[in-house]
Amino acid sequence: MTSKDRTKRTLWSAKLCVRAGMSFHVIDSEWKMLYPTPSEVEDLVDHSHGLKTIVTFSTRHYNSLRLLRQTLSGFNAPDEIGLNLVVGNPAYLTEREIRRPSIRTLIDSIRFVRRRFNDLMVFIGTEGLISRAAQLSVEYDLIPLILLDRGLEEDIATVRDLVRNSEIALYAPFLISENYPRLLHDILYRLSGYIMRRSWVREDLRKLGYDLTESALRAVIQDKKPLPTRIMRSDLGRFLKKAASSFTIYGNMKEVTERIDHIQKLGVTTIIGLPVKENDRQILSFGRLISRST
């Protein structure tokens, strides 16, 4: 996909977020070379009236502070834009960047932002450093962003003990469908890398006698083919179904609504959804469910 195609698709998703009544549109490029340029962010904000655009920066990426400064320089007020600061998953870092100290680069970026934009909305990713991220949230007025995972209730409790009555956000892939076999297939195929990056998934698979890489998992779950019955009835199939449930909000409208309600009762104030299948129906349906639940 070209840069022009990515920009066009991002504008399309922003317009859908506006139509769905969402509050935020989060841009998470993951790879440094895919970050939107400052002019692209300005153009995106211009087409997102009533919607706050949140741009994600990995603080271990080299030159992330320079890119962050350039991006924010085009805005006089914090009403239209916000940030999501993360240390970055090693899958999207170079070897040198992986060796950079996570907490130090994160704090440097936070202090940089707060010196210049004290009122800017800033989310902080908690992956791998949940207690420290929660402490920084209190110190610098940030919103902790938790990943949907099997230890969700424990993670929320850890954050809540520190931030008290402040906001807590959750990042969650989602898929709304009545076709359960196809739904599960799409989650496992499209999120294979996301799933295999979790250490507990790799460890539990090894205990079952499987040493799967992302490419091996995608080979098992072939695109546009139904999941083989023999796999779904095996220990591997049962584990993969459980993993999909840990990482994803999925099911029909009723099931997704119930899961959202449960998550909000745990104390989550903002749910940032990643559509497993990025199309109009998914984004609009999820937006309506979120708006109805708030």
Model confidence over 55-106: pLDDT tens digits?
999 999 998 889 888 888 877 666 789 999 999 888 888 999 999 999 999 9
Q: What pLDDT does residue 269 have?
A: 94
pTM, to two decimals: 0.90
Q: Which of 155-159, 176-180, 199-203 has the highest mean pLDDT?
A: 155-159
Distance CA 289, CA 95 (A): 41
Distance CA 176, CA 275 (A): 9
**Pair type for strands 24-27 and 81-86:** unpaired
Helix (H, G, I), strand (E, B) or coil at 118: coil
Distance CA 192, CA 291 (A): 29
Poorest-pLDDT segment among 52-66, 150-164, 210-224, 231-245 = 210-224
Tally of CB atoms within 10 A around 219: 11
Q: Percent of the chain, pLDDT > 70?
A: 90
Distance CA 183, CA 252 (A): 10
Average pLDDT in the chain: 87
Q: What pLDDT does residue 294 have?
A: 58
Tens of pLDDT along 113-136?
999 888 899 999 998 899 999 999
Burial of residue 175, with CB atoms counted within 10 A of its CB: 0-12 exposed, 13-18 middle, 19 or more buried: buried
Distance CA 100, CA 52 (A): 31
The Cα angle at residue 164 between residues 160 and 169, in degrees rounded to 5: 55
> In terms of DSSP H, where are the helices of the chain?
3-19, 38-46, 64-72, 95-98, 102-116, 130-140, 152-163, 180-190, 192-196, 199-207, 214-220, 229-232, 235-247, 253-265, 280-293
Q: What is the mean pLDDT of residues 247-268?
A: 95
